[in-house]
Chains A and B, each alone.
Chain A
């Protein structure tokens, strides 16, 4: 029991580091709550746009506003050049439309006119290009057929209402799975960083020369000492895991209180055990206490960046994905992404899930074997 107690006494010293990693995860989850992730039914993408109108408020422009409002999110940004340019750069808006003076009069009197746009040159802005051109094209075609602007507008609107029928064939009946995947992917960093840093540092404290000598001459059995140390580290990891799962249960209720939630939890639990095994290995390998922070940061950040914890793995280059397959985080993150796509729950549909779990378990065994080999070697040298 004394080993167990001492372990948590030392852990207490690192409470701020643990709090920091937990807060980072919490704030990350809060920021990502805005992600649109409706799995049931079709939801059109709505790019963010800004309209700067230098003309008077005409019916044509009002109707353009209404049309764009139905198909995009019109943002309210102060009409300041720098603020608008910043909004475009940081993708607060994908598309800026500048309506010049006399636009309405020119268009209704068949005079050539220009409408100015600034875009982020991505798929969302291309879609906005299409929407804007569609509206302008309809005015151009029908403006000579109607003397009255109201009639022209109602004609245009009647055409714009015509739509094809679209349906989503997915059998997934739970919303917010993407959000849950993003959360658990990010938890890869928090779990790794907190477990590796705290456990390796505490284990290192037990290996300080003077303390180690005292442990050796004590009446405490070597195997019992190690067993208690392992149990303490396991308890610490489980507490961290419970906190992270608890946050997800609060923030993403619908997805977490379903079968999907159970799969996310089990996957993260196995990964937590993997982080624990790696912590023991690092604690055995690293002798210098000052070096732990650097090595842990490189490992936690490295596997998170390379395996897709911060950026979805579909955006990563092929060579990065190939490298990441050598790391356990890849299989944990791959599983999180797979869970969000499961349509039915049976053994066949979950095969990939269990293969990934199996690979993580192999990593756990590998870390344990390596740890035993290194510590055996070190004991012999001592």
Chain B
């Protein structure tokens, strides 16, 4: 009986086209949109070659330091910051107007005059480097006045040999757009709750004709319930794993180096989604559409708070209302993937797994209490 009901529950759930679209295809479509939109965003935030122009006049020719610094920073090496054009004022204005350069520098009466079109980090860096050239001139003047016999190499060493070293300890895994894909898996896991809801509705006498027939049949309810739930869980898991594979192999999403933990998180997330659906089906005595609406609302609100519609939202909630995200299953899943990707230690990952299991247990307990107490004098 278990296998019989399992098979037909499985086929019945798969035949619901709308359900299959929202749980299988919609997350994949959304993931593809994410990929198309976000694939370039982090590259654009990196410092790229800044296009500038220098007004080629007599004063420039005499400014050896400026020429050598700009020459060095425009060379094709690791320190390349600028792509520099030496031109006249009219041409520079035209280039700025056409946005081919972000600004130009003119030396007038020994003063450096920078003209830009709009504010931004590239313009700030341009100004910073010109300021540093002014500063270097003062340093050279100071050193030359105190150490009259200093040669060029000694001067260079004195300026550049700093005994205080800046040591960069940054992590390599800094791609914040990954959070979007993690919320997508979380959404898919929780959406799957609708399968759990259908599985329960089909054996509830007051929810479907099939449920009424089941209620008066001689088959053990436990067998029916477990086989239906297993079918729902299996379909949901297939959906989540399909999405996971799609994000890994097609969208190149980085889940860190621990695939086992990634799978554990997906399975635990699916269990949480399923139990959420079951609890809502058992808890609310209302029609199917409203129950779906409740699951979708919880899923969307949870995904929103865990960063789906804006990555910083997760951070804002984590920082200001941590309790809200501690009880949010979508965040537990998202944060679990985030901890695998970003953190070396597994503490945060285990915390999220345990939180999800506690959440699922509470949902199961609520469902048991509600389902056990249901008796019908009439429907």
Which residues of A are at the interface with B, using a C-beta cutoff of 8 A? 24, 28, 31, 38-39, 42-45, 82-83, 85-92, 107, 110-124, 126-127, 129-134, 136-142, 145, 159-160, 162-170, 290-291, 294, 297-298, 301-302, 305-306, 310-311, 314-317, 320
Q: B163 touches which one: A89, A113, A116, A301 (CB < 8 A)?
A: A113
Q: Are A119 and B40 in contact (CB under 8 A)?
A: no
A166–B112 CA distance with the chains assembled, in angstroms: 8
Chain B residue at smallest Cβ distance from A166: B114
Minimum CB distance partner of A160 in chain B: B135
A123 touches B47 (CB 8 A): yes
Contact B47 A122 (CB under 8 A): yes
Interface string of B275-315 (1 = CB under 8 A from A): 00000000000000000000000000000000001111011
Contacting pair A159 B135 (CB below 8 A): yes
| A170 to B167 alpha-carbon distance, docked (Å) | 40
Which residues of chain A come closer than 8 Å to B146, judged between CB atoms? 145
- Residues facing A in B158-196 (CB within 8 A) are 158-171, 174, 176
B117 within 8 A of A: yes
**CB proximity of B182 to chain A, nearest CB, Å:** 12
- Contact in complex: A121, B174 (CB < 8 Å): yes
* With A90-B312, A121-B46, A141-B158 as contacts: A305 and B135 at CB distance below 8 Å: no
Q: Which chain A residues border B118 with CB–CB below 8 Å?
A: 39, 168, 170
The reply to whether A130 and B125 contact each other, CB–CB distance below 8 Å, is yes
Contact with A along B6-18 (1 / 0, CB 8 A): 0000000000001
**Nearest neighbor of B164 in chain A, beta-carbon distance:** A136
Q: Is the CB–CB distance between A122 and B45 below 8 Å?
A: yes
Known: A130-B129, A301-B30. 11 other contacts (CB 8 A): A90-B311, A91-B176, A121-B170, A136-B162, A137-B159, A140-B164, A141-B158, A163-B134, A164-B114, A164-B134, A320-B36
**Contacting pair A42 B119 (CB below 8 A):** yes
Q: Do B162 and A137 have beta carbons less than 8 Å apart? A: yes
The smallest C-beta distance from A246 to any residue of chain B, in angstroms, reads 23
Instruction: Establish whether residues B39 and A317, one from each chain, have CB atoms under 8 Å apart when the complex forms.
Output: yes
A43 CA to B120 CA in the complex, in Å? 8
Q: Given the complex, which residues of B lie within 8 Å of A111, measured CB to CB?
A: 163
> Of the candidates B26, B37, B121, which one forms a contact with A123 in the assembled complex, judged by CB atoms under 8 Å apart?
B121
Contacts of A116 in B (CB 8 A): 166-167, 169
What residues of A have a CB within 8 angstroms of the CB of B315 in the complex?
86-87, 90, 92
Partner of B135, one of A91, A123, A162: A162
Q: Is B22 an interface residue (CB 8 A)?
A: yes
Structural contact, A115 and B166, CB atoms closer than 8 A:
yes
Bound Cα distance A129, B135 (Å): 17
User: Of A44, A86, A113, which one neighbours B318 at CB under 8 angstroms?
Assistant: A86
Q: How far is the CA of A91 from the CA of B177 in the complex (A)?
A: 11
Query: B168 to nearest A CB, angstroms?
Result: 6
Instruction: Let me know if A38 and B119 touch, CB within 8 A.
Output: yes
Residues in B neighbouring A164, C-beta threshold 8 A: 105, 111-114, 127, 130-131, 134
A-B contact count (CB 8 A): 213
Complex CA–CA separation, A38 to B120 (angstroms): 10
Contact of A140 with B162 at beta-carbon distance under 8 Å, contacts A45-B121, A89-B174, A162-B134 already known: yes
The reply on B41 being an interface residue by CB < 8 A is yes
Contact flag A89-B132 (CB < 8 Å), given A118-B168, A320-B37: no
Q: How far is the CA of A207 from the CA of B129 in the complex (A)?
A: 67
A127 touches B119 (CB 8 A): no
Q: How far is the CA of A107 from the CA of B158 in the complex (A)?
A: 15
Q: Which residues of A contact B131 (CB under 8 A)?
A: 162-164
A interface footprint on B181-219 (CB within 8 Å = 1, 0 otherwise): 000000000000000000000000000000000000000
Shortest distance between the CB of A42 and any CB in chain B (Å): 6
CA distance A378 to B54 in the complex (A): 66
Asked whether B96 lies within 8 Å of A115 as measured between CB atoms, the reply is no
Which residues of A are found within 8 Å of B115, using beta-carbon distances? 166-169
When distances are taken between beta carbons in the complex, the residues of chain A under 8 Å from B96 are: 169
* Min CB gap A376→B, angstroms: 29
The chain A residue sitting closest to B43, CB to CB, is A315
Determine whether B124 belongs to the interface, using a CB cutoff of 8 Å to chain A: yes
Q: Report how far A136 CA is from B195 CA in the complex, Å.
A: 61
B139 lies within 8 A of chain A by Cβ: yes
Which residues of B are found within 8 Å of A294, using beta-carbon distances?
18, 21-22, 26
Q: Could you say which of B40, B132, B167, B312 contacts A316, with CB atoms under 8 Å apart? A: B40
Question: In the complex, what residues of A have CB within 8 A of residue B44's CB?
Answer: 314-315
A355 to B174 alpha-carbon distance, docked (Å)? 41
8 A-B residue pairings within 8 Å (CB atoms)? A43-B119, A89-B174, A90-B311, A111-B163, A117-B170, A297-B26, A305-B37, A316-B37
Which residue among A87, A124, A166 has the maximum number of chain B CB atoms within 10 Å of its CB? Answer: A166
Contact status of A114 and B164, CB under 8 A, knowing A160-B135, A315-B44? yes
Select A167's contact among B30, B34, B114, beta carbons within 8 Å.
B114
Q: Contact: A110 with B163, CB < 8 Å?
A: yes
| Given A113-B164, A159-B138, A316-B40: A119 touches B119 (CB 8 Å cut-off) | no
